[in-house]
Structure 1
Amino acid sequence: MTQALAFPVPNALGNIDQYVQAVNRYPLLTEEQEQALAHRLSDENDLDAARQLVLSHLRLVVSIARNYLGYGLPHADLIQEGNIGLMKAVKRFDPDRGVRLVSFAMHWIKAEIHEYILKNWRLVKIATTKAQRKLFFNLRSLRPSTATLSPEDVRGIAAKLNVKPEEVIEMETRFSGGDVAIDRGSDDDDERMSPIDWLADESAEPVEVLATAQNERLADEGLKGALASLDERSRAIVQRRWLVEDNAATLHELAAEYGVSAERIRQIEAKAMQKMKLLLSA
């Protein structure tokens, strides 16, 4: 049996820079070590072997996630989604295929990050087909310059990515359009009007105040009932992940506490949330 490597699970880290420094300290695996750990996982379901395989490749996730910072989403969230992809790759990795885990995992890491971006970025409604997704993630690099695309540029990109020229134009418009803030943000100029100043505050109406209070009471009772329907472990995971004001537990912290993988904690959480959703919508 391969000797366990120095892979301590770090305590809570203060910021993303400390996290990156921590994962870069994990040792890289030789091909022999990787093969031995992968066989321990596939043959014996050794969770410690899975842990070592995941931790040794966390720096890969950080590196890949950094390439998607241009979409305006938090680096930490991109890394978290990439880590889910890494865990899926480790679970499915076949050590007898003659491929290193780093090559196999890149597909799964990128796939999870892509899904996260498409679900959370403002262009999601246009990126619905495989070809449109390819356009979404390649338009920036295919543009010849920062200037407006010429008709020839549009036709060339459309042909290369197998989409309609109209889709290239629409995507380009969305990329260059930018969002308009509804309020003035941190601007202290009281003389300057913003769109939000023209909106009536309907929540201040007495009827709305009473209705809001009633809805909150019913929602609170419904939430308590939905939580009560869960088993003790599922209820504890949901409460510590979503119902605490500060220091919400991470998947890895709960995994270490319950002696299972982070992916298993995620599965329990997803199943519990689905059950609660059905009860609350009934």
Structure 2
Amino acid sequence: MTQAIALPLPSAVGDIDAYIRAANRFPLLTEQEEFDCATRFRDHEDLDAARRLVLSHLRLVISIARGYLGYGLPHADLIQEGNIGLMKAVKRFDPARGVRLVSFATHWIKAEIHEYVVRNWRMVKMATTKAQRKLFFNLRSMKTDSSTLLPAQIADIAHRLSVKPEEVAEMETRLSGRDMAMEANEDDDETFAPISYLADHHSEPTQILEARAREHLQSEGLQEALAALDPRSRRIIETRWLADEQSATLHDLAAEFGVSAERIRQIEAKALQKMRGVLAPA
């Protein structure tokens, strides 16, 4: 597993308000400053440049982490996990692609926080399938208010998320029983910080970019990558990574093709590498 960058950061453990004030004092970087820092880190492993990139985006982590407070987990812990995602993003960020770090880092921050929620919130552990987890993470944002969903609304959400209506109703009941209020007092510094304009998730540029990228990967991009594989490799990838329910194990596929589990793993790794080459931006 790739390690995050080891950088001295202000700790979110303790006085969370003091941490937020400290994070907001770090200046935002201009596009040119960001490009220069990212280039120095990529080409020369300049940790001071990496540190500037991380510190200038701490407020982004705080903003994203705040959106997960409804799951009843400590805000400080959510921020700490998000910071790990931010550092991973900085390590992988390529300034030559012409995308700002805020757009690239959002995915990594959310991925780390999602994993933390899955590990620590008991209700998520009940959602074992891909569809159920998708429902868990999307139901809150799809509800227009705090009232109980009507049958027509349940049917609409079930159709949009490709789950059964009874699963939507059950998940709503679970979430309502566990629901907690969002942060009561807004921090004044955070309110006036430039990052606060990212709060509208319906028109946020990073959300639009992510949606477009996902749409491409899930449609034309994914089909192109699968088409580049031989039948056996495609079968392995589809059953290991794209199955709607339980994925096949290496031993399952080894028995199917009459080879060893290690050989299946080698074929899988080679296929994934080939797919990454097809999916890589031009």
Shorter-chain TM range is 0.5 to 0.7
CA distance in 2 between counterparts of 1:81 and 1:113 reads 6
Per the alignment, residue 30 of structure 1 pairs with 30
- Which is bigger in relative contact order (C-alpha 8 A, separation at least 6)? 2
Whether 1:84 and 2:105 are equivalent positions in the alignment is no
Query: Are residue 103 (structure 1) and residue 100 (structure 2) matched?
Result: no
Q: What letter matches 1:54 in structure 2?
A: V
CA RMSD between the two structures: 2.3
Q: TM-score, normalised by structure 1?
A: 0.57
- 1:233 is aligned to none
- Within-5 A mapping of 1:151-190: 151-178=151-178
Question: For residue 187 of structure 2, what is the aligned residue in structure 1?
Answer: none
Query: Does the 8 A contact of 2:71 with 2:178 survive in 1?
Result: no
* Structure 2 runs not aligned, ≥5 long: 1-6, 180-282
Q: Per-residue deviation at 1:158?
A: 0.4
Aligned to 2:190: none
Shift of 1:150: 2.8
2:109 counterpart letter in structure 1: I
- Quickly say closer, same or farther: Cα 1:94–1:148, change in 2 above 3 A: same
Deviates more, 1:105-114 or 1:134-143: 134-143
Residue 122 of structure 1 deviates from its aligned partner by 2.2
CA distance in 2, matches of 1:170, 1:96: 46
Structure 1 counterpart of 2:39: 39
Q: Is the 8 A contact 1:31 1:100 kept in 2?
A: yes
Task: Report the 3-state secondary structure (helix = DSSP H, G, I; strand = E; otherwise coil) of the residue aligned with 1:149.
Answer: coil
Counterpart of 1:50?
50
Displacement of 1:154 in angstroms is 1.6
Please tell me whether the aligned partners of residues 89 and 108 of structure 1 are also in contact (alpha carbons under 8 angstroms): yes
Aligned to 2:123: 123
Per-residue deviation, 1:160: 0.9
1:239-254 matches, within 5 Å, as none
Shift of 1:173: 1.9
**What is the CA distance between 1:144 and its match in structure 2?**
4.5
C-alpha contact (below 8 Å) 2:12/2:77 kept by paired residues: no
Q: Which amino acid in the other structure matches residue 132 of structure 1?
A: Q
| 1:29 shift after superposition | 0.6
Per-residue deviation, residues 21-55 of structure 1 (Å, max 9, x unmatched): 00100011111111111111111111121111111
Q: What letter is aligned with 2:118?
A: L
Equivalent position of 1:20 in the other structure: 20
Please state how far the C-alpha of 1:10 moved relative to its aligned partner: 5.2
Letter aligned with residue 63 of structure 1: S
By how many angstroms is 1:172 displaced? 1.4
Higher CA-based Rg:
1
Code of the residue aligned with 1:40 in structure 2: it is R
Q: Which amino acid is the alignment partner of residue 130 of structure 2?
A: K
**Percent of aligned positions with the same letter in both sequences?**
72
CA contact (8 A) 2:65 2:82 kept: yes
Letter in 1 for 2:174: R
TM-score, with normalisation over the residues of structure 2?
0.57
Alpha-carbon distance in structure 2 between the residues aligned to 1:10 and 1:80: 10
Shift of the 175–91 alpha-carbon distance from structure 1 to 2, 3 Å rule, reads same
Change (3 A) 1:52 1:146: closer
> Any runs of at least 4 consecutive aligned residues in structure 1 with deviations exceeding 6 A, and if so which?
none
Secondary structure class of the residue paired with 2:126: coil
Deviations for 1:1-34, whole angstroms, at most 9, x for unmatched residues?
A: xxxxxx9965898501111000100011111111
Relative to structure 1, the CA distance from residue 119 to residue 8 in structure 2 (aligned partners, 3 Å threshold; closer, same or farther) is closer
| Distance across 1 between alignment mates of 2:11 and 2:112 | 25
Q: Is the Cα–Cα contact under 8 Å of residues 23 and 55 in structure 2 kept in the other structure?
A: yes
Q: Distance in 1 between matches of 2:75 and 2:139?
A: 21
Q: Which amino acid aligns with 2:43?
A: D
Question: What SS does the corresponding residue of 1:29 show, helix, strand or coil?
Answer: coil
Q: C-alpha separation between the residues in 2 aligned to 1:10 and 1:176?
A: 34
Output one character per residue of 1:187-244: Cα deviation in whole Å (capped at 9) or x when no partner: xxxxxxxxxxxxxxxxxxxxxxxxxxxxxxxxxxxxxxxxxxxxxxxxxxxxxxxxxx
